[in-house]
Structure 1
Amino acid sequence: MARSELGAYLTTRRAGVTPAQANLPVTGHRRVPGLRREEVALLSGVSADYYVRLEQGRERNPSAQVLDALAAALRLDEDGRLHLFRLAGLGPQSRAAAVVDRVEPSLLALMDAWPHNPAIVYNRAYDVLASNAIADALFHGWAHSRNLMHVVFTDPAARTFYRDWHEVAHNSVAGFRLNHGAAPDHPRVRQVLTELLDDSPEFTDLWTRHDARGKALEHKRFVHHDVGPLTLTMQTFDVRAAPGQELVVYHAEPASPGSEALALLGSLAATSHRAP
């Protein structure tokens, strides 16, 4: 029987936990990089046979109690636990019709009121639905694509634009995986997934790792062709009025080189906006 998404996720998470992290003794030769199946079963209080059936896709309906125990045994964070429950059919999923691509006018006005803070709104498929002028300047006018996943994996310029491209790529796939778990049947999410699996071997490799986590406060380093290198802090917010949308806002530390570069970028954006 083909392995389920749930089984594949359990397998990859098990490989990422060492016996030492699980407070288990290390005995004999180990053929796996992380925990053995029977060790996960022991830690979560289920039979080894039942856990094997979960990984092999022969059991697909574990209870919430079992999932809680597995999440603890596999040391999942809150995003990982949510993804586990969704894969088992016990977490909230968004209907395709509920994914809203219209950005509220009040949010658009707020973004336009931040001339020195790049801000974008994107949906579960990472399509950028709205951006302010300085965000357009930061992302080179979105010449390649307004889909962030396509920018990262199919735009050759992305590898120099993002100074830490490999980290950005890894985090992007983990976020996309979490979004896919929330709306696996949404046609646009599935379309972007299919395109990236067809077009990018690096995306495909990261996708097989089954990492799932949302965006958090982080620093991103860019090299912009007009203003040079700049380091920005990125904060992400759920748009409560439109489930599935996220607002990302960038800012630079005061009096830092990034702040100076961002101010110059803002001036260039304002000049471009005023140009006939």
Structure 2
Amino acid sequence: MDQRAELSEFLRSRRARLKPADVGLPDFGRHRRVPGLRREELAQLAGVSVAYYTRLEQGNGQNVSGEVLDAIARALRLTEAEQQHLTHLAKPTATKKKKAAYAKEQRVRPQLRYLLDSMDAVPAYLLGRRLDLLAWNRMAAALIGDFVELPPQERNFARHVFLDPTARERYVEWEDKAAEVVGVLRLCAGCYPDDPLLTALVGELSVKSDEFRTLWAAHTVRQKGHGTKLLHHPVVGELTLSYETLKMPEEHDLSLVTYYAEPGSASADSLRLLASWAADARGPGAGQPGDRPAPVTPPAPSP
């Protein structure tokens, strides 16, 4: 990806979303020729010269200091994830060694696979860089989908959300899920701007999905953290589940995502029913060929 263009477009998009009233400046209404703040207004708020900020917005961030980036982030009212993204774009730290690692296949330690297998009542999966799905347990396969049937190079969460028709049925609030995925992928792109596989993924999704292309152009950035999702499952119906994202301390490119239901809730009962259904799955390991739930068959009604 063109780092200079990404930096320029990101700053323009963040500046355009701010209204003068948001930062205590007068608004001249229809006489304003640009959406959001003007460059000189933003420069004034950040305490830098207009010429300096203009060079930065044109993609020239090579010599910018951390203090200036912090001031611009405050002026733009960036979130923590957005500020992190701005730093990656303005001061990329990719080395030849890091670039060479892009092409290497990410591998999951056996211990992490054992951990996934032991979580037999909790849907859990491991995400790598580019949101690649590296491993998952039977409960995740039962809840979200059977990724084992896909070629390894196609096991990617962004591809699942935008190109798999079942995802639109599974995620009740699909638009929110799609926006979240794109925001996380944007953050990945800032961290790994020279990753050819990530560039290819973004290109493929932009061609095949109008929704992805529109969301990508918005330059929204998000961290995948925690929250609540409403899902519709063909066997157990609707579930309201909370999720947590845990970063691996020594493997920063890996994230463990888990889903759980509030104790005593109807969703907890449904999750237990799903666990019973998933227990019939065949195969020896999480995320391995053959680890497939039984065909979807709704439980018989109670007499």
Change (3 A) 1:195 1:226: same
Q: Larger deviation: 196-205 or 184-193?
A: 184-193
CA–CA separation in structure 2 for the residues paired with 1:177 and 1:149: 11
Partners of 1:116 and 1:266 within 8 A in 2: yes
CA–CA separation in structure 2 for the residues paired with 1:245 and 1:39: 40
Specify the SS of the correspondent of 2:23: coil
Q: Under a length normalisation based on structure 2, what TM-score does the superposition of the two structures give?
A: 0.84
Counterpart position of 1:27 = 28
Counterpart position of 1:86 = 88
Which of 177, 182, 195 is matched with 1:173 structurally?
A: 182
Please tell me whether residue 239 in structure 1 is matched to residue 248 in structure 2: yes
Counterpart position of 1:54 = 56
Query: What displacement does 1:97 show?
Result: 4.1
- 1:23-72: per-residue Cα shift (whole Å, max 9, x none)? 22323533333222111011011222332232233665422222111101
Counterpart position of 2:43 = 41
Please tell me whether residue 122 in structure 1 is matched to residue 119 in structure 2: no
CA–CA separation in structure 2 for the residues paired with 1:138 and 1:61: 48
Partners of 1:95 and 1:186 within 8 A in 2: no
- 1:139-161: per-residue Cα shift (whole Å, max 9, x none)? 22125652111111111222121
CA–CA separation in structure 2 for the residues paired with 1:92 and 1:216: 25
Q: Larger deviation: 40-49 or 100-109?
A: 100-109
Q: Under a length normalisation based on structure 1, what TM-score does the superposition of the two structures give?
A: 0.91
Instruction: For 1:209, give the aligned amino acid.
Output: A
Please tell me whether residue 189 in structure 1 is matched to residue 223 in structure 2: no
Change (3 A) 1:67 1:176: same
CA–CA separation in structure 1 for the residues paired with 2:277 and 2:178: 28
Identity %: 43
CA–CA separation in structure 1 for the residues paired with 2:71 and 2:120: 48
Q: Larger deviation: 193-202 or 129-138?
A: 193-202
CA–CA separation in structure 2 for the residues paired with 1:161 and 1:118: 14
How many residue pairs are counted as aligned between the two chains? 275
Counterpart position of 1:77 = 79
The equivalences for 1:218-229 within 5 A come to 218-229=227-238
Specify the SS of the correspondent of 2:22: coil
Partners of 1:98 and 1:243 within 8 A in 2: no
In the alignment, structure 2 segments of 5+ residues that lack a partner are 284-292, 295-303
Change (3 A) 1:130 1:270: same
The equivalences for 1:263-274 within 5 A come to 263-273=272-282
Moved over 6 A (4+): none
In the alignment, structure 1 segments of 5+ residues that lack a partner are none
Specify the SS of the correspondent of 1:265: helix
CA–CA separation in structure 2 for the residues paired with 1:254 and 1:98: 42
Specify the SS of the correspondent of 1:189: helix
